[in-house]
Chains A and B, each alone.
Chain A
Amino acid sequence: MSEVKKYENITCTFCGALCDNIEVEVESNQIKKIKNACAISRKKYMHALQDRTIPMLNGKECDYDEAISRAADILKNSKNPLIYGLSSTTAEAQKTAVKIAELSGANIDSTSSVCHGPGTMAKQLVGMVTATLGEIKNRSDLMIFWGANPVEAHPNHSKRYTMLSEGLFKKNRSDREVIVFDVRKTPTAKMADQFFEVEPGKDFELLMALRMLVNGKEPELNNNQIAGIDIEDLKVIAEKLKNAKYGSIFYGMGLTMTGAKYMNTWAAMSLIRDLNDFGRFVMMPMRGHGNVAGSEITMAWQTGYPFAVNFSRAYPRYNPGEYTAVDLLANREVDAAFIIASDPAANLPHQAAAYLDEIPTIVLDPHWNLTTDKAEVVIPSALKGITASGTVYRMDHVPLHLRSFLEDEWPDDAEALVKIGELIEND
């Protein structure tokens, strides 16, 4: 009879909400029961041990150490490699990836550059007024979701941190007014007090109009509408924004990756900043991958920059649009790629992803994915938060420590990267 072990307060690493109240029951190195997990999380846990990678070289199984040393060779011998991904691995692995980038004169970029990176660029222009999730839970009387749909993408978010949570000063749903701006009526919109359907691609105009109204100016109009919303409605919204005691706005890729991209977020950040002249108002990016916030954090303390970093001069240089993965791949500027805990073949534009077939590509990932099909080297790894420990950063930059509760046959990402780094450094 094998023993049943129970673990409490386990952190789910799937999305940027990093719920840390998961309970699991384990028997014979298998997850038997799982509690407090959302539908997505439950599936992730239940399927975590399936579809596991094995070490491969050119489509043939090989020894783990062989895969590691081949990866080191590729990086050593390339002139301008790309290290990409990072958002679904631990801070310990991310740190080591930066070191490898430095040692091999590589470009290093995270999936941030194709999701909330534009928001970070906007922050560099104007700054950002933000708070931790508990602060919003405790104080926020007006919650706005803009181009974000947590009910489907971060299912426990509303229960733990926003609309439905129990806070210090705000106790339940009726203590909060909720407004949703989106291009379609999402399930999140259905939970709101008010929903405004935004004409696609017009977020910038809408945000700037609200900013004018908040600052006592009238926007110019053609048909009494901005972004498909009536000006009289906008005036009411502007008053609500001004009257909030502690407003909050959660924004998703509906804002950062559409229309004016980083200027959308710039407009939102400028509006939120101005609203602090009336009451308090904060904002929060709905980060997708579990540790994408960590990828910006670890890269920043080591290099000074959050993503899109190039080490060809042996010191870090930063330039989104030049050292970002999509651009480097689509412009065929790199001669090798090291993909860490990410699936660019599934997510990047075709032209960028297809180029991975033409250059030596290394993938470090616990699961098979579309990118492993393109890889010359596949390095398996342990599952963070399940069979691997480490640090992850929540969407509000709160760090959490992961504890492993199952055994794995493969080392974790950090250990693999340390080995590769040593092979390059001691060459």
Chain B
Amino acid sequence: MIRLFNGVIYDPAQKIDGELGEIWIKDDKIVEKPSAKKIKKLKAAGELEEIDLENKILMAGGVDIHSHIAGPKVNSGRVLRPEDHRRDNIARKGKLRSGVGSTVPSSYVTGYRYSMMGYTTVMEAAGPPMKAKHIHEEFNDLPFIDKGFLVLSGNNYFVLKFISENNMEALKNYLGWLIDVTGAYALKVVNPAGVEAWKEGKRMRGIKDKGTSFNLSPSEIMLALTEANDALNLPHAVHLHTNDLGTAGNYKTTLDTLELLKDRRLHITHIQFSSYGKNENDRIKFRTATDKVAAAVNKHPKLTVDIGQLVFGEATTMTADGVLEYNLHKLSGHKWVNTDVEMETGSGIVPMNYKKKNLVNGIQWATGMELFLKIEDPFKVFLTTDHPNAGPFTAYPWIIKLLMDKDYREEYISGMHKNIDNYTDISNLKREYSLYEIAAVSRSGPAKSLGLKNKGHLAPGADADIAVYKSLENKDIADVFAHPALVFKDGILVVEDGELKSDKLLPGRTLMIKPEYDKNIQAEIRGDFQKFYSMSIDNYAVTDNYFNKVEVVPCRSKA
């Protein structure tokens, strides 16, 4: 067993706010403190390792609810950008494989860099079902972190067909089947109807109009999918990338969506990209619209969001929202990849470089920051950069510093475009996050939203995924969070003094769910599948040989 003592514990899930304490680890779990007798016995047998944390910060391992880390789109981004990697080389060391970093790191380096920040669980944000085997292959080369993937389902042929036929039972069974055969964790919905429209050469706006050959509005799709998500008792809500993402004035679409789904479980991802106002008569069309969006978020009882905070510097935008990437390509002139995936989804990639002095980029940055500071409940809003879209995940320590240190934030804003205050109100916001709130937005909150009961907290029964950071006293906050003193994954010490231990390449787990559904659905869809896909339904499922170390997370108990 391991005893970590004299830690200053921040565990919002247990409402522990900086209390000096200890935790006990047995194998890969956090356990109750053993009896005095047992402790004595362990000591005598030399089976107790005691580590004095000397008042360091003790938190659960970080949980990232939305990051593009593996699969066809990420890998295409790697191939697209040799210039992204070549100055960021990681040599082989001990058992640690080599690789490259920067905004689209190789699989191994992705695992290394998350654990080197104290993160232990990451959700791959968007997987096309027919390429799910690729995602799982990469997962097996993505060490140190637990991971799962969100399966794209908002523009899927069978989804749209069953909704247009008003066949909710078939929709529910199909989604259950889709999650089952692809080894997915939750449902991802990206620009519902809009991606199909892009493939049909059409454009949509708002959530009310019907614009594709399926004759469905985004509203109808979102209502049906959120209903099916609850009928399947999925641990996570529908994970939504809103319509009109990235466009000036899109906050209205976001408010309409929140109103439409006001009594539904819902997660809106990278909401920063969905919270822009519009100036009709200004050369700069964008402004922040965070007052209205934050108010709607604060009001919604079953909603969580993550931010997708913009980070200045290189980024690689990548999304299933094909038309968005086309627009970014037209706007920037940068190289552009688009991949339409039959019957299921689209996707695109465009490299970007966000500039601190650029006014529009500054407004985007401020939009994220304002939402962080205006959304009141830290269990509702989570830290992400929509890696590598708004910036790389390696910027989290810097974002934490911006949130915790008002003076630093003000100084930083002073170096931005001189007109930034005309379009934002970030300079008026004085709130500073506490360590307790940081623990909520980076651990407890996302774990709870994902329905990961064993993660994001330090109570007995939790996975022994633990991060220890140096005390903040007289130290740079970003530096503290970038270099944890200790990180445990599954009860094994993997990072010490900010450095990975090189004696083992620890595989993480693949997290998946197995919802209940009627298996006859496969026979029901077989006819259309065999005709309109380019592969056989019998070769579609991800077979067990792709699963190395799996944890099936239970679905919610029935209401």
Chain A: residues with CB nearer than 8 A to chain B? 8-9, 11, 20-21, 91, 95, 99, 102-103, 120, 123-135, 137-139, 160-161, 166-169, 245-246, 273, 276-277, 279-280, 282, 296-298, 300-306, 311, 313-318, 389, 391, 393, 396-401
Docked-complex contact A132 and B341, CB < 8 angstroms: yes
Q: A127-B80, A315-B89 are in contact. Are A302 and B337 (CB under 8 A)?
A: no
- CB of A135 within 8 A of CB of B342, answer yes
B89 touches A316 (CB 8 A): yes
A277 to B201, CA, bound (A): 10
CB-based contact B342/A134 at 8 Å = yes
A95 to B546 CA separation, bound complex (whole angstroms)? 14
Bound together, the chains give a CA A168 to CA B212 distance in angstroms of: 14
**Which residues of the other chain, A, contact B397 by a CB distance below 8 angstroms?**
none
Q: Give the 4 A-B CB pairs with smallest separation, nearest first.
A: A134-B342, A134-B534, A127-B335, A304-B100
Q: Indicate whether B412 reaches chain A with its CB closer than 8 angstroms.
A: no
Say if the beta carbon of B236 comes within 8 Å of chain A.
no
Given contacts A168-B532, A316-B99, contact A120 B539 (CB under 8 A): no
A282 proximity list for chain B (CB < 8 A): 338, 340
Q: How far is the CA of A95 from the CA of B97 in the complex (A)?
A: 12
C-alpha spacing A11/B540, complex, angstroms? 12
Instruction: Please give the distance in Å from A122's CB to the nearest CB on chain B.
Output: 10
Known pairs A134-B342, A297-B75; list 10 more (Cβ under 8 Å): A20-B536, A125-B335, A126-B336, A132-B130, A301-B70, A301-B74, A314-B92, A315-B91, A315-B92, A318-B86
Q: What CA separation (Å) do A126 and B81 show in the bound complex? A: 10
Q: Which residues of B contact A304 (CB under 8 A)?
A: 78, 82, 84-85, 99-100, 104-106
With a cutoff of 8 Å between Cβ atoms, the chain A residues found around residue B106 in the complex are 300-304, 316
Inter-chain contact A315/B532, CB cutoff 8 Å: no
Residues of A within 8 Å of B532, CB to CB, are 134, 137-138, 167-168
Q: Digit string of B91-117 for contact with A (CB within 8 Å is 1, else 0)?
A: 110000111100011111000000000
- Give CA–CA (A134, B72) in the complex, Å: 17
Binding-face segment, B134-142, B462-470, B506-514: B134-142
In the complex formed, the residue of A with least CB distance to B89 is A315
| A168, B527: Cα distance in complex, Å | 12
B398 at the interface (CB under 8 A from A): no
Interface flag for B358 (CB, 8 Å): no
Bound Cα distance from A304 to B101, whole angstroms: 8
Mask, B325-343, CB within 8 Å of A = 1, is 0100110000111111111
Assembly CA distance A276 to B75 (angstroms) = 23
Closest beta carbon of chain B to A319's beta carbon, Å: 9
For A103, the chain B residues whose CB sits under 8 A away are 92
User: CB distance A401 to B133 under 8 Å?
Assistant: yes
Contacts of B350 in A (CB 8 A): 127
Tell me, rounded to whole Å, the shortest Cβ–Cβ distance linking B323 to chain A.
10
Instruction: Check if B545 sits within 8 Å of A389, measured CB to CB.
Output: yes
A selection of 20 A-B contacts at a CB cut-off of 8 Å is A127-B336, A130-B337, A130-B339, A132-B339, A133-B534, A135-B199, A139-B200, A168-B343, A282-B338, A304-B105, A305-B78, A389-B545, A391-B133, A396-B534, A398-B131, A398-B535, A400-B133, A400-B539, A401-B539, A401-B546
Q: Is the CB of B201 within 8 A of A279?
A: yes
Known: A315-B89, A397-B131. A296 touches B539 (CB 8 A): no
**Chain B min CB distance to A96 (Å):** 11
B533 at the interface (CB under 8 A from A): yes
Distance between Cα atoms of A37 and B543 in the complex (Å) = 24
Query: Cα distance A304–B77 when bound, in Å?
Result: 9
Whether A301 pairs with B535 at a CB distance below 8 angstroms is no
Beta-carbon contacts under 8 Å, B502-559 to A: 531-536, 538-539, 543, 545-546
B338: chain A residues at CB < 8 Å are 127-131, 276, 282
A131 and B337 CA atoms in complex are apart in Å by: 10
Contact B335 A131 (CB under 8 A): no
Q: What residue of chain A has the Cβ atom nearest to residue B101's Cβ? A: A304
Contact A280 B199 (CB under 8 A): yes
Given A127-B335, A246-B201, A313-B91, A400–B535 Cβ distance below 8 Å?
yes
Determine if B42 is an interface residue (Cβ-Cβ < 8 Å).
no
Question: Smallest distance from the beta carbon of B165 to chain A beta carbons, Å?
Answer: 16
Contact of B134 among A273, A317, A393 (CB under 8 A): A393
Minimum CB distance partner of B325 in chain A = A127
C-alpha gap A304/B137 in the complex (Å):
15
| Contact B201 A280, beta carbon cutoff 8 Å | yes
B295 is an interface residue with CB less than 8 A from chain A = no
Query: Within the assembled complex, what's the spacing in Å between the Cα atoms of A303 and B141?
Result: 11
Known pairs A134-B343, A138-B342, A401-B539; A123 contacts B79 (CB<8 A) = yes
A305: nearest chain-B partner, CB-CB: B82
- Count chain B CB atoms within 10 A of each CB in A8, A20, A161, A169 and give the residue with the most: A20
Q: How far is the CA of A393 from the CA of B72 in the complex (A)?
A: 11
Chain B residues with Cβ below 8 Å from A300 are 75, 78-79, 106
Bound CA–CA A273/B336 (angstroms): 8
Given contacts A133-B534, A401-B133, contact A102 B342 (CB under 8 A): no
What's the Cα separation between A47 and B234 when bound, in Å? 50
Q: Looking at the complex, which one of B98, B134, B141 makes contact with A399 (CB distance below 8 Å)?
A: B134
A194 and B99 alpha carbons, distance in the complex (Å): 48
Residue A301 contacts which of B78, B198, B329, B539 (CB distance < 8 angstroms)? Answer: B78
Given contacts A135-B342, A279-B201, contact A99 B78 (CB under 8 A): no
Taken together as a complex, chains A and B put the C-alpha atoms of A303 and B110 apart, in Å, by 12
Residue ID in chain A nearest B326 by CB atoms: A276
CB distance from B541 to the nearest CB of A (A): 9
Point out the residues of chain B lying under 8 angstroms from A273, CB to CB. 329, 336
In the assembled complex, the Cα of A313 lies from the Cα of B342 at a distance in Å of 41
In the complex, which residues of chain B have a beta carbon less than 8 angstroms from the beta carbon of A168? 157, 343, 531-532
